[in-house]
Structure 1
Amino acid sequence: MTKELETKGAAIQGADAGKYELSEEQKAHQQERILKQVAKELQLPLTKVKASVSLLDEGNTIPFIARYRKEMTGELDETQLRDIEERLQYLRNLEDRKLEVIRLIDEQGKLTDELRVAIEQAVKLQEVEDLYRPYRQKRKTRASVAKERGLEPLAIWIMTQPRQGSLEQEAAKYMDEDKQVHTSEDAVQGAMDIIAENLADDAKIRAWVRKYTQDQGIIATEAKDSEQESVYEMYYSYQEPVRKLPPHRTLAINRGEREEVLKVRLEVPAERIHDYIAKQIVKGESIVKSTLLLVIEDAYKRLIAPSIEREVRGELTEKAEEHAIRIFAENLRNLLLQAPIKGQVVLGVDPAFRTGCKLAIVDETGKMLYIDVVYPTPPNNKVAEAEAKVKAAIEKYGVQLIVIGNGTASRETEQFIADLIAKLKGRGLRYLIVNEAGASVYSASKLAQEEFPKLDVAERSAISIARRLQDPLAELVKIEPKAIGVGQYQHDVAQKHLDESLKAVVESAVNHVGVDLNTASPSLLSYVSGINGTIAKNIVKYREENGKFKDRKQLQKVPRLGAKTFEQCVGFMRISEGVSPLDNTPIHPESYEVVDRLFRELRLELDQLGSKGLKDKLQHADAEALATKLNVGVPTLRDILDSLQKPGRDPREELPLPIFRTDVLQIEDLTPGMQLQGTVRNVIDFGAFVDIGIKNDGLVHISQLSDTFVKHPMDVVSVGDTVTAWVLNVDLKKGRVGLTMKNPNKKQ
């Protein structure tokens, strides 16, 4: 219900809204209650939650809090801080909604003390909405029409459940030609409609039916046309309990229904629900018992069941979307943090058939050196001419690596490059296929046009492909995160929530690595803690007008970069050849004075930074004893000691490099049992796709990831991992390869 709550958590409106506003004392009590709820839900100490919320409310970013305010939060990590932020926002919006509902009911003159307390004590939006439902303004219904015809007193009489008298005679009193109540049957039906709507609006009944539906309901799907071939064939006659339906199946079923391939229904044993409602309202034998039982069946079938089905399926979808976004976010983070290939001249190739393969050579810094196009693939097949061009460019610019995008004509282009490498033996050339998802999005963007105004879209794409190898993070931040292609059903989820989540992942990755203040693009800078797009452009403009930054303090001269922004961003900025060696570390300037005292205590000099002697001395330093002497927190001092031992270190350098190849592997070359090295391209709920050097990635099903039980593939593999796999099966017709990571040669 998070998305719904965001829209309903509006501020209280109206001329007399003041009477519903909370006093300062009430606000403080509400805040305390919310913080306790967050701490309880997340199983965190209340003191840590309070400190974190205080920092967030002051405008501090999560990367800044996680890195530079560890003493205050008790070293909570970014994930825990984001969980706190999300729950805090939900519960604050929930409180706003409660006040709004109380106001709306009170304005109708129907607010009782009991109802107010029930609303105030609700802990979920659904509870608040159930309580508000009877008072919500409705469109014209059968019950509202019956009320207009004056039949509400008859409905009240029926609910008294008299043991004597005649329902027909009582109903006859309400016959009125002017009100279109022509017969006693018309009057009874109208009264039944009123009672049915009241039952459908009853919060207790709805809560029970909802829970029962979630526990006992079955999602059933069937094909609209069973003869039609589609990717949804496993759902053409399918059933699964609601409580067991996994997220990826929920989204697959939703998509099949949306594309009008599947019909979906929620099946629930209605008799048990009828019995429960009857126990709530039927008080024993009466002259209206049979009528009430009919009302119960009608209320459930016509009003409650369709509504609860929408709610239950909506909740399934929301949970599935949250799960899919979480998977996408984790994959994206691992992709962004892949090891950069530094110090290499790279040839990027954007493959194609008719329009030819675009070539781009970039130097060690990513600067474009060469652009061209060759036509070695069908229908042109100008192989000899392409070979001559590419060979000349390789020799002229000293190319060491070749990167090929995995789009159309990728494998034909790969064969051409592999053949060329074989003819250039001794040069040590290697190639790699990279996922080019999003490259076309970037190359057609305004950003790419500004960066390379004289190049066409495909030429820009070739440069992007080359740079992805040199620095995946710096290049991929130029692309809308959801276009990068490591998700699962990313087009089926709430796009606003997806964008927010993925932006947080990119922000986290960028700040984890840090950015070079003198080379970073506006795209990269805009993800630094506290920096927005405008300030990022201002930083680059200042750099262009005044030359390279020599000192982090110079950031304070950048237009619109105020004191708070400086505090948030400066620790994540790096200057490699600046005035102070500390500017090339993650140490925040606010701690430079601590470093000064530390060096005096250990009798070290700043110019020793990077030396083995200094590293050895810092490694053996007693952080806790020093922290007491220097009057600084232990977590902060630990981070300082770590940063001083590895100045200028890129945390990604510790990760494994991708697999480079020199020859082509065809699917026809594969046989069951063959051992291969591969790179994990995508991790999803039911397994992992691994690039083993053929056209399509092979799939390692979750059951083949390990000899032990695997709850989720992400517990075993991550995007970018280099893995050993064995061929399980090959489907030449569909171009599919099944892999296993269980060693078939291992003795059981």
Structure 2
Amino acid sequence: MDNQILDLVAKTMTTLKPQQIKAVLSLMDEGNTVPFIARYRKERTGDLDEVEIRDIKANYDRLAALESRKADVIKIIEEQQHLTPALKQAILKADKLQTVEDLYLPYKQKRQTKATVAKAAGLQPLAAWLLRFPQSDVRVQAQQYVNADKDVADADAALAGAHEILAEAFGENAQLRDWVRNYTRNKGSLVVKVKSKGKALDEQGVYQQYYDFTSTLKQLVSYRVLAINRGEKEKVLRVSLDVDQAGIDRYLHFRFIGQHQGPAVAVVEAAYQDAYKRFIAPAIERELRNELSDAANEQAINVFGDNLYHLLMQAPLKGRVVLGFDPAYRTGCKLAVMDANGKFLDKLVIYPHKPAPTAKREAAAGEFKAFLEKYQVEMIAIGNGTASRESEEFVVNVLKTLDRPVYYVIVNEAGASVYSASDNARAEFPDLHVEQRSAISIGRRLQDPLAELIKIDPQAVGVGQYQHDVPQKALNAQLDVVIETAVNQVGVNLNTASPELLTHISGLSKTIAQNVVAYRNDNGEFSSRPQLKKVPRLGPKAYEQAVGFLRIIHGRNVFDNTDIHPESYPAAKALLAAAKLETKDVGTPAAQSLNQVDLTAVASETGVGELTLKDIVASLQKPGRDVRDTMPAPLLRQDVLKMADLKPGMQLQGTVRNVVDFGAFVDIGVKQDGLVHVSKLTDKFLKDPRQAVAVGDIVTVWVEEFDEQRQRIALTMIAPKDQDHDQH
């Protein structure tokens, strides 16, 4: 850890204390993971969360890369013997990589240019003479540089060479580039037109709103940037950057001509105009387009990550017998029933829809009802793909004939088919067809969304926006972070967790996760956390990082079913003793008396900090607690709704399926999700829809308008009376 970079991080992260930053970086240098530091090293970090810890590391890495680049650039310029004290100071003071690159540009190795040819022909003194704005005739002066041996045939050729030298020097001027960049960023506009053959390529009219589109760069929102980029890539759109040329000309004149007059003015003027047109404007356009794209990509990745987190953290439906229903027309609906613990019990195929023969369709309801009764199914998860709504109607009609309540939920089945065909699914259910594995996946998504969705490529779960357009490396890195955070916040049952789930536990690699499952298969269930030490390749560091996030539900030690780390078991015993409790009181009403314990005294006695002791008290009061239990439960339905049933002003409840920059898509129980535009989420101004809603939220909405033919539904979350109030 470099103390100079540490000081720079402290200057950029002013809300944190320098010792917090130092503690985080030291802990990471020691090989500790972010979840472990956030959960079990609160005293050292001052109770920083995962986001703050990752921000510290990201800032340190960014500044370390900047300092490394500065050192490289200084070394290269020094070797060229061009490094002046002023230039060195300017590089050292730079706080952006772009500034360093601008300062380095004149010294960068480049292929032969017209300017380097002109310098080799001895025309540098002529260029310098022109910049002094002499009053004498420039052609007479240029005549002195005519040299047939060096291809300078006449005065015009000499002036042309001097022009190239000046244009390149202006083009590589760091201050000039910086001014033009800022001016264009603040005053420039993105102009989008449809290409001559663009409309033919855009048969669906996907990019129609951008056929003649202009927006200032400052007002351009990220989802538009990504849409325009995609339209340009598909050769539908032509994109350019437009800026007030007169404003730039005024600045260039002021900067390079000022009050000077005389015959050299026209030559210098032509050189800086050429420099802007040839070198500066195209480079700045590229930079600013990249800047827009980078910001839009980052926003899209953050939105996707946020949606995925809320999807993974949806409340599980515990202790219910669930039937997964994978709808289809021709090939029949695949059903799979799971017990209360998610164990697969039985499968069935029924044919309730055309084009199945009449006899099969008539038999479907009876077969379905018998299957529900045989296993006393309490909950049905219907996939939202092909034939979903027809299947929903079929299910509702059968449920009406039962003399006990059974509910159903429409489950987003995105990615279920991807999982079903995967090696992992084949290994788990080698004897089942792909569609039957899909029905199991749909049912388990209701029972434990986190454990099931973790098996699927995150990009396939359908909660993103342009996720296939953004840099995949950055997207995957963010998704790994989201999954790691979610899995470790929830913790996993060591005796039921899949290798996919264990891989995301702090400290466990893919190999170690598979070794844990193999050990469990060979030796039976774990009865205590220390048994993990017997797992091959699971060394002391991996054990320390992982063990607190692994639960043993009915183990020998009640503490093993909590998120108390084994290193703190003595402190947990001390807390129980201070409250005159025994281990049998853990999780009972008696454990509430722990709230009266003097934590300062126990901290002094055990050497364990008060922040950690508070966490231990919460764990002793609610062992096996699941943070997802506080999340909204799935919206259970018993009846079906069609688009034709909708009326403007109708109030409905729905589940947020996806949040994007311009609003939220809500499943209200009809075939098509409705859109709540960002302006309709609340009566207050919102810049980001995520300030109001998250994936999985259960929300009350009102129908504003709908178009059955185009399958579009516009919803609002502002109650009608509030809307009336807003209008007056």
Q: Sort the TM-score into its range (normalised by shorter chain).
A: over 0.9
Counting matched residue pairs gives: 717
| In 2: Cα distance, 1:33 partner to 1:610 partner | 46
1:371 shift after superposition: 2.8
Partner of 1:414: 392
Partner of 1:242: 217
| Range moving further from structure 2, 355-364 or 303-312 | 355-364
Partner of 1:636: 612
* Contact 1:35–1:50 (Cα < 8 Å) also in 2: no
Partner of 1:219: 190
Write out aligned runs for 1:117-128 (5 A): 117-128=89-100
* Contact 2:102–2:172 (Cα < 8 Å) also in 1: yes
Partner of 2:233: 258
| In the alignment, structure 1 residue 499 sits paired with structure 2 residue 470 | no
* Contact 1:685–1:712 (Cα < 8 Å) also in 2: yes
TM-score calculated relative to the size of structure 1: 0.92
1:373 shift after superposition: 2.9
Query: Aligned match of 1:287 in 251, 263, 285?
Result: 263
Deviations 1:213-268 (A, max 9, x none): 11101111111257555122221211111112111121121112112221111111
| In 2: Cα distance, 1:150 partner to 1:398 partner | 95
1:178 shift after superposition: 5.0
1:149 shift after superposition: 4.4
| In 1: Cα distance, 2:355 partner to 2:321 partner | 30
| In 2: Cα distance, 1:613 partner to 1:82 partner | 39
1:195 shift after superposition: 1.4
Partner of 1:515: 492
- AA aligned to 1:143 is A
| Range moving further from structure 2, 174-183 or 638-647 | 174-183
Write out aligned runs for 1:265-664 (5 A): 265-282=240-257, 284-380=260-356, 382-422=360-400, 424-614=401-591, 616-664=592-640
Partner of 2:179: 208
The alignment yields a C-alpha RMSD, in angstroms, of 1.9
- AA aligned to 1:323 is Q
| In 1: Cα distance, 2:517 partner to 2:459 partner | 26
* Contact 1:274–1:296 (Cα < 8 Å) also in 2: no
| Range moving further from structure 2, 93-102 or 664-673 | 93-102
- AA aligned to 2:541 is K
| In 2: Cα distance, 1:666 partner to 1:515 partner | 40
Residues 38 and 568 of structure 1: CA distance in aligned 2, closer, same or farther (over 3 Å) = farther
- AA aligned to 1:366 is G
Deviations 1:135-173 (A, max 9, x none): 222234333343454433432332333222x32233334
| In the alignment, structure 1 residue 64 sits paired with structure 2 residue 36 | yes
Partner of 2:26: 54
Deviations 1:447-474 (A, max 9, x none): 2222222333222222111110000000
1:408 shift after superposition: 2.0
* Contact 1:217–1:241 (Cα < 8 Å) also in 2: yes
* Contact 1:682–1:688 (Cα < 8 Å) also in 2: yes
Write out aligned runs for 1:692-703 (5 A): 692-703=668-679
| In the alignment, structure 1 residue 706 sits paired with structure 2 residue 682 | yes
Partner of 1:670: 646
Partner of 1:189: 160
1:619 shift after superposition: 3.1
- AA aligned to 1:146 is A
Partner of 1:739: 715
User: Where does structure 1 lack aligned partners over 5 or more consecutive residues?
Assistant: 1-26
Question: What SS does the aligned partner of 1:725 have?
Answer: strand
1:37 shift after superposition: 3.1
Partner of 1:230: 205
* Contact 1:343–1:364 (Cα < 8 Å) also in 2: yes
Partner of 1:170: 141
1:626 shift after superposition: 4.0
Question: What SS does the aligned partner of 2:27 have?
Answer: helix
| In 2: Cα distance, 1:347 partner to 1:70 partner | 43
User: Where does structure 2 lack aligned partners over 5 or more consecutive residues?
Assistant: none
* Contact 1:38–1:84 (Cα < 8 Å) also in 2: no
* Contact 1:478–1:523 (Cα < 8 Å) also in 2: yes
* Contact 2:587–2:623 (Cα < 8 Å) also in 1: yes
TM-score calculated relative to the size of structure 2: 0.95
| Range moving further from structure 2, 117-126 or 578-587 | 117-126
- AA aligned to 2:490 is V
| In the alignment, structure 1 residue 83 sits paired with structure 2 residue 55 | yes
* Contact 2:575–2:597 (Cα < 8 Å) also in 1: no
Question: What SS does the aligned partner of 2:720 have?
Answer: coil
1:622 shift after superposition: 4.1
Deviations 1:531-561 (A, max 9, x none): 1111101111111111111111111111111
Partner of 2:45: 73
| In 2: Cα distance, 1:167 partner to 1:683 partner | 65
Question: What SS does the aligned partner of 2:514 have?
Answer: helix
- Percent identity between the two aligned chains: 51
* Contact 2:676–2:716 (Cα < 8 Å) also in 1: yes
Question: What SS does the aligned partner of 2:238 have?
Answer: strand
Residues 191 and 425 of structure 1: CA distance in aligned 2, closer, same or farther (over 3 Å) = same
| Range moving further from structure 2, 402-411 or 206-215 | 402-411
* Contact 1:34–1:92 (Cα < 8 Å) also in 2: no
* Contact 1:673–1:744 (Cα < 8 Å) also in 2: yes
Write out aligned runs for 1:23-34 (5 A): 28-34=2-8
* Contact 1:38–1:88 (Cα < 8 Å) also in 2: no
1:190 shift after superposition: 2.4
Residues 160 and 454 of structure 1: CA distance in aligned 2, closer, same or farther (over 3 Å) = farther
- AA aligned to 2:222 is P
- AA aligned to 2:650 is M
* Contact 1:598–1:630 (Cα < 8 Å) also in 2: no
- AA aligned to 1:171 is A
* Contact 2:199–2:205 (Cα < 8 Å) also in 1: no
* Contact 1:677–1:723 (Cα < 8 Å) also in 2: yes
| In 1: Cα distance, 2:611 partner to 2:389 partner | 50
Question: What SS does the aligned partner of 1:380 have?
Answer: coil
